[in-house]
Homo-oligomer: A and B are copies of this chain.
Amino acid sequence: MTASKTITAAIVVIGDEILSGRTKDKNIGYIADFCTSVGIDLSEVRIVPDVEDEIVAAVNALRARYTYVFTTGGIGPTHDDITADAIARAFGVGISENPEVIEMLLTRIKPEDLNEARRRMARIPHGAQLVKNRVSTAPGFWIGNVIVMAGVPSIMQAMIDAVADKLETGVKMIIETIDAGGIPEGAYAAGLSEIATAHPVLSIGSYPSFADGKFKNQIVVRGKDSEAVAAGVAKVNAMLAALRAAHKGA
């Protein structure tokens, strides 16, 4: 781990059920939080259907660009679980039944129940390392810079736990949130833009939410240098205080 290095990641969510709206994804937000907490910059997410060409294209585009690619979904025993084959094709490697996974499956499945379909879960691309986890005996796998995980959130989370210590991480992002209270975005936008321009190492955002007919705004100052973040936050607070004072005076 080099303190000054930037480590990036992307996610490929594989699943018709997400695109149809039937299942609401819970993995993106979880992986995003995880990445932020360990100092990995999540930089892009793609949701693709259960179509091999689409999975291959997304994985190959993203693995060339980012330090890590996490995939979720499509590693079960049914015919629509095609992720392992797609990943093997993306890497141009073979795929076959992994004896170690067969052993793992046999700890929970009786030998007479280990049918053809269940054996599919043991198909692992050549050169991949298994991502064993505490929830499911069917592992994920890690090949090159791509980490292939289940779509079921509890299993996906256990797989993240299993790889967390092995991931290279960068400097953690420091994120400070400042409540703008009742001050509308349009009143502080110019001042905020000036602060953002003066602090190019910071990423400063303004996030409105809308409820009961009113906007509630939050300003977020992000950066990897604690002094720069503190300086940015101080300027934002000073700007908001000046706007409040001007409003009271008006």
Q: Which residues does A use to contact B, with CB under 8 Å?
A: 13, 16-25, 28-29, 32-36, 41-50, 54, 76-80, 109, 113, 115-118, 120-121, 135-136, 152, 154-155, 173, 175, 177, 185-190, 192-193, 196-197, 203-211, 220, 222
A192 to B, closest residue via Cβ: B78
User: Is the pair B54, A42 in contact by a Cβ cutoff of 8 Å?
Assistant: no
User: Is the pair B44, A44 in contact by a Cβ cutoff of 8 Å?
Assistant: no
Residues on B with C-beta less than 8 A from A109 are 186
Q: A188–B76 Cα gap in the complex (Å)?
A: 12
Given A190-B115, A208-B76, answer yes or no on A21-B44 (Cβ-Cβ < 8 Å).
no
Q: A49–B16 Cα gap in the complex (Å)?
A: 24
Q: A42–B47 Cα gap in the complex (Å)?
A: 10
Task: Identify which of B24, B47, B192, B207 contacts A79 (C-beta below 8 A).
Answer: B192
User: Is the pair A207, B33 in contact by a Cβ cutoff of 8 Å?
Assistant: no
Q: Which 7 A-B pairs have the closest CB atoms?
A: A117-B189, A21-B32, A79-B193, A21-B33, A118-B186, A45-B47, A78-B206
Task: Identify which of B80, B117, B203, B211 contacts A205 (C-beta below 8 A).
Answer: B80
Given A135-B210, A155-B210, A203-B16, answer yes or no on A79-B196 (Cβ-Cβ < 8 Å).
yes
Task: Identify which of B21, B78, B205 contacts A193 (C-beta below 8 A).
Answer: B78
Q: A186–B45 Cα gap in the complex (Å)?
A: 30
User: Is the pair A45, B19 in contact by a Cβ cutoff of 8 Å?
Assistant: yes
Residues on B with C-beta less than 8 A from A204 are 79-80
Minimum distance in angstroms from A173 CB to a CB of chain B: 7
Given A117-B193, A210-B155, answer yes or no on A24-B19 (Cβ-Cβ < 8 Å).
no
Q: A143–B116 Cα gap in the complex (Å)?
A: 50
Of A25, A48, A188, A207, the most chain B CB neighbours within 10 A belong to A207
Q: A33–B21 Cα gap in the complex (Å)?
A: 5
Given A20-B32, A189-B79, answer yes or no on A49-B54 (Cβ-Cβ < 8 Å).
no
